[in-house]
Amino acid sequence: DLIVYHKLDPKYLAEDSKKIVDGHGSDMQESYGSYTTQQLLYMSASYIGGYALEVPGEFGAPDNPQKYSSFTKGEYSFNDYYNMADIVVDYMDEHGKAPDSINYKGATIGYYDLVYNFALLTEDDTSASTMNFPSEMGFHKYYSDFLFEILPIGLIIVAIIVILLIVRSIIKRIKRRIRRRKERKYRKRMQRERYGRNPRQFHRNIDSRYYSDYDYPSNKPKRLNRQERRRR
């Protein structure tokens, strides 16, 4: 049981997490109780991730905290939140400050939403004997912006329209090629039917009755008999 390794009573984290949750609807503060907001983020992430809960060191604020998350799901399993917390702890240990946002399964989760959702998970966990986490929890946004929230949907719709236009253009191009190919084949077939495959074939195709009775002149000189030679 990981809870026995905690050096700080979880109820202190729960109390400050509740302050964050109760402050929803107003601007997030730089500190709550005895800790800065980024320290509380580190504490809640450590607690959710199963790390020892202890008094945190100093952590810098994010350089450019992302206010809105994008492409998030409506609900995540506790295992998802566990993985998010692990990402946050690793980042803060490495950089000594809170992240502007994290990327998780195609979603970009902003700093404020990380703080808020981790606070929601830890606000009721006041006992040192249990870790009372739900198997699933809805994802909630600390700041809401209607235009920003529908932006991902708009981008998806635009992408679908672009793809459909490209597919339509490709289909038209293929149909045009097929039509041209058919037209070329048709013209060639008509030429063959009209003229034959070649000039020799053309003459062979002519009805012989038009020239069978005609005596074509011979190129050979005509031989004269004796009487004709005497006359000359």
Q: What is the pLDDT along the chain (232 residues), one digit of tens a residue?
A: 444 445 678 888 999 999 999 999 899 999 998 899 999 999 999 999 988 788 888 999 999 999 999 889 999 999 999 999 999 999 999 999 999 999 999 999 999 999 999 999 999 877 666 667 889 999 999 997 656 666 667 778 888 999 999 999 999 889 888 888 888 888 877 777 776 555 555 555 555 545 555 555 555 556 656 666 565 5
Q: What are the domain boundaries of the chain?
A: 2-144, 151-199
**The pLDDT value given to residue 190:** 79
Chain center to CA of 192 = 53
The pTM (predicted TM-score) of the whole model is 0.64
